[in-house]
Each structure stands twice: as C-alpha cells, then as structure tokens.
Amino acid sequence: MKKIAILKGDGIGPEIIDCAIEVMDKIQEVSKVDFEYSYGKIGGDAIDNFGDPYPKETEAICKSANAVLLGAVGGEKWDNIESEKRPEKGLLRLRKSLGVFANLRPCKIYDSLKDNSPLKPEYIKDVDILIVRELMGGIYFGNRGTVVEKGLKTAFDEERYNEEEIERIARYAFEMSLLRKQKVTLVDKANVMDSSKLWREVVKKVAEGYKEVALDFMYVDNAAMQLVRNPAYFDCILTNNIFGDILSDEASQISGSIGLLPSASLGEKMGLYEPIHGSAPDIAGKNLANPLATILSCALMLRYSFKMDYEAKIIERAVEDVLEEGFRTFDLDSKNYLGTREITREVVKRIK
Ligand code: NAD
Ligand code: IPM
Ligand code: MN
C-alpha cells in the first residue's frame, strides 16, 4: 500500500488535484498498485478551518504518508494577514517539516507546442532544463522584520546559508546531471552577495568528486537573459531558493505555459509534489486551469517516491500524446480549448 497525503489548497488547487486523482486512479487500475489517499488542509483553506495555514492535523497526515501531493495555496482573501500566518507560510512550513531541501523543476519542450513558446523555434529546439532549487534555506527562512530606524519604517529579509545546506543541494544537482548532459551551471550573485561567494566555494569543492560533470558559473541577471537568448545552453541550473523561484516561472514560458511545469521536492525520506504555479485566482472555479503540471507532478511522484518509472513514463507519454493530437487548454489556446476536466479525461483515456 502506497500512502499519499493530498493537500488541495486554494484557488485552482482543488480542481487540478481532482484531475490528478483521476489519473492516479487509472494508474491503480492498469498497474494493480494500491494507493491510499488521506486528505489534509493547507493554506487559506486551513486558515478558514483551523486558524493555521499548516495545522498539526495536516502535519500528522503528511508525516504518516509516503508522499505528499499539493495543489496550490494563496488568494486575495488572505493577502492582508501578517506574513507569519499567511497561506504561503503554511507551504514553507510544510516544506521545512518534511525536510524537502531539493526542489527539481524540469522544463522541457513539447514539439507540438513549439508555436506556443514566445521564443522562435530555432531557439528552443534543444531545450531541456532541470532547475535544482534549494528549498529549505535562504531568504525564505532568514530573519525578517520591520523596525523603525531614524524615524523611518525599515524592513529587512536576510539571505543566509551554511556550508552543509549548500553542499547537500550541490550534490543533488551533480547526481541529477549524471543522468542528463553532465553539466551544472551555478546561478548566483557572487559579484555582490557573500552568501553567493560561499555557494561558489562549496560547489567547487563538491565538483571535485564529479570530474565528468562540467561546472560553470553565471550571475543571475545574466542567467535571466540567457534563458530567453540561448536557453539550450543550460542543462542543470543549480541555485538558491529565491533565484530558483523566479527563474522557474521564467523558464516555464519557454515551454509555452506555466500550467505545464511540475516539480518534485525531495529530502532524505519524503517527497512533496506540486505544480510550480500558484492558485491562479483569476481562473479558479471556471474549469479553465491547465491540470497537466499537476498530472506530471504525479509522474514525478511515481518515479522518485515509488520507483515506478514505467508508470511515470505512461503518464508522461499520455500527456505528450494528448498535446500531439492537438488538444489544448485555455492557457495554450484561448479560442479552441478543452476544460480542465475534459483534457484530463483525454489523458486518462490514453493510460493503458
Ligand atoms: P499564479 O501562478 O497563481 O498565476 C500567474 C498567472 O498564471 C495567472 O494569470 C494564472 O491564471 C496563470 N496560471 C497559473 N497556473 C495556471 C494553470 N494551471 N493553468 C492556466 N493558467 C495558470 O501566480 P500569482 O498570480 O502570482 O499568485 C496567485 C496566488 O498563488 C498568490 O496568492 C501566490 O502567493 C500564490 N502562489 C502559490 C504557489 C504555490 O502554492 N506553490 C505558487 C505561486 C504562487
Ligand atoms: C512556488 C511559490 C512559493 C515559493 C510561494 C507561494 C511561497 O511561488 O512554489 O514557486 O516561492 O516557493
Ligand atoms: Mn513560484
């Protein structure tokens, strides 16, 4: 029995998770594996029900599972709550409590979607990028606050990393690169930030154990530019929490839509799987959301948490087939599209 904790969250979260469950149910049917789902609340939904964006009930459900599947959190209703109690803080606490420090965000090009990319076809031809984002440290978890200094309201957020935190994520990136093109680009701001200098120092040391991997360094401002100028340059992008967050949304556009990019967040024991996008309040409840990023996150769950690579590929193949056959969601073609539920049905039909 494989136990999966399911956290639907806010906005489009419930819709896209329902689609993912349909796909997982079909996988159970064709591969005779048993999934046991347990449901918990997170984000705004948890604030409304428990007064806490990551209640202990949810933590217990997640910790007794083998993997966690999450939709998205956040929305206008909770935007004016103090930062410690916001829906997004619930997500950060979830990641921390599960110990998932390695956030893998793959960005690939579907041949059938090359016209959806804002980049010309010749620029995106060989794009296949894996962003390896540190997920449990940096500015997300550093000291922050608002004080009054010299009569002025002053706010600060601290970026802080120690050697161990950098080393473990660096190893992850090098290991992942061995399964790919053996190239790691450390993206940082070492021309300004001390934390980035430490990243370079530690990553160089880790690289000594991976002679077959080519390591290079790029400042984040240049990396943001190169992602649109020459995205095929990259194989693994290794970076900190905040740069990884920003660059992954940018990278999603190369593939055509943020609704396509899945993620896996991994640690020693646990895996958390979620699309890279947010709760998309502007399209919530309208059957317009693209569920494919969440469905592809299930494929990552099968691959990384359950060693079911064959079944992961079945899901990935089904998604690719649906796109190749010309089915589109609203984000990919606003004139001729299928709804969230309808495109899921097409994916499910192709899982055999
Ligand atoms: P967003 O990713 O929710 O939406 C950005 C744009 O992309 C919107 O126009 C939205 O409609 C579109 N979009 C996103 N996912 C889509 C999908 N699956 N299909 C079609 N279109 C999609 O980012 P935002 O608007 O900056 O944030 C909205 C809320 O989500 C905020 O409260 C934010 O904090 C939260 N958020 C949560 C997560 C998460 O839970 N992991 C990630 C990012 C943002
Ligand atoms: C993401 C989101 C989150 C992040 C927010 C909602 C805390 O943007 O998963 O990309 O910044 O990590
Ligand atoms: Mn983000």
Render pLDDT for 215-232 as a digit per residue (tens, 0 to 9): 999 999 999 999 999 999
Taking ligand 3, which is a single-atom ion, which protein residues have CB atoms under 5 Å away? 245
Show me where the domains of the chain are located.
Answer: 1-107+256-352, 118-254
pLDDT band at 270 (very low <50, low <70, confident <90, very high): very high
Mean pLDDT to the nearest integer, 100-121: 96
Residue 11 per-residue DSSP state: T
> In whole numbers, what is the pLDDT of the chain averaged over residues?
98
- Percent of the chain whose pLDDT exceeds 90: 99
Angle between helices 241-255 and 220-229 (to 10 degrees): 10
Q: For residue range 163-180, list pLDDT tens digits in order.
A: 999 999 999 999 999 999
Query: Would the CB of 15 count as within 6 Å of ligand 1?
Result: no
CATH code of the domain made up of 1-107+256-352: 3.40.718.10
- Neighbouring residues of 316: CB distance < 8 A, sequence distance ≥ 6: 296, 299
Q: Which of 241, 344, 264, 259 is nearest to 67 (CA)?
A: 264
Query: CA 21 to CA 102: how far, in whole Å?
Result: 24
Q: For residue range 41-60, list pLDDT tens digits in order.
A: 999 999 999 999 999 999 99
In this structure, the strands spanning 67-72 and 271-275 are parallel
- Neighbouring residues of 80: CB distance < 8 A, sequence distance ≥ 6: none
Provide the token pair at 275.
């699309």
Report pLDDT for 187: 99
Ligand 1 center from residue 91 Cα (angstroms): 14
Report pLDDT for 39: 98
The pick from 12, 91, 139 for probing ligand 2's pocket by mutation, whose C-beta has the most ligand atoms within 8 angstroms, reads 91
- Neighbouring residues of 154: CB distance < 8 A, sequence distance ≥ 6: 146, 147, 148
Nearest CA to ligand 1 atom 27: 278
Say if residue 126 carries a ligand binding annotation: no
pLDDT band at 276 (very low <50, low <70, confident <90, very high): very high
Mean pLDDT to the nearest integer, 251-274: 97
Residue 343 per-residue DSSP state: H
Q: Which of 276, 281, 284, 290 is nearest to 337 (CA)?
A: 290
The ipTM (two decimal places) reads 0.99
Ligand 2 center from residue 208 Cα (angstroms): 32
Query: Active-site residues: which are they?
Result: 140, 189, 221, 245, 249
pLDDT band at 78 (very low <50, low <70, confident <90, very high): very high
Atom of ligand 1 nearest to the CA of 293: 18
Nearest CA to ligand 2 atom 1: 276
CATH code of the domain made up of 118-254: 3.40.718.10
Report pLDDT for 13: 98
Nearest CA to ligand 1 atom 22: 259
Provide the token pair at 267.
């640690």
Report pLDDT for 121: 93
Query: CA 103 to CA 95: how far, in whole Å?
Result: 10
On whether the CB atoms of residues 19 and 341 are closer than 8 A, the answer is: yes
Report pLDDT for 156: 97
Mean pLDDT to the nearest integer, 311-321: 98
Q: Which of 64, 63, 71, 58 is nearest to 14 (CA)?
A: 71
Nearest CA to ligand 2 atom 12: 245
Mean pLDDT to the nearest integer, 286-303: 98
Report pLDDT for 275: 98
Q: How many CA atoms lie within 13 A of 248 on its CB side?
A: 30
Report pLDDT for 105: 98
The pick from 89, 245, 246 for probing ligand 2's pocket by mutation, whose C-beta has the most ligand atoms within 8 angstroms, reads 245
Residue type, 284: A
Report pLDDT for 345: 98
Ligand 1 center from residue 279 Cα (angstroms): 5
Mean pLDDT to the nearest integer, 182-207: 98
Report pLDDT for 300: 98
Q: Give the neighbor-by-neighbor strand order of the sheet with 183-188.
A: 35-40, 2-9, 67-72, 271-275, 262-266, 102-108, 128-134, 236-239, 183-188, 214-219
Q: Same topology for domains 1-107+256-352 and 118-254, yes or no? A: yes
Report pLDDT for 77: 97
- Neighbouring residues of 289: CB distance < 8 A, sequence distance ≥ 6: 12, 15, 16, 259, 280, 283, 329, 330, 340
Report pLDDT for 306: 98
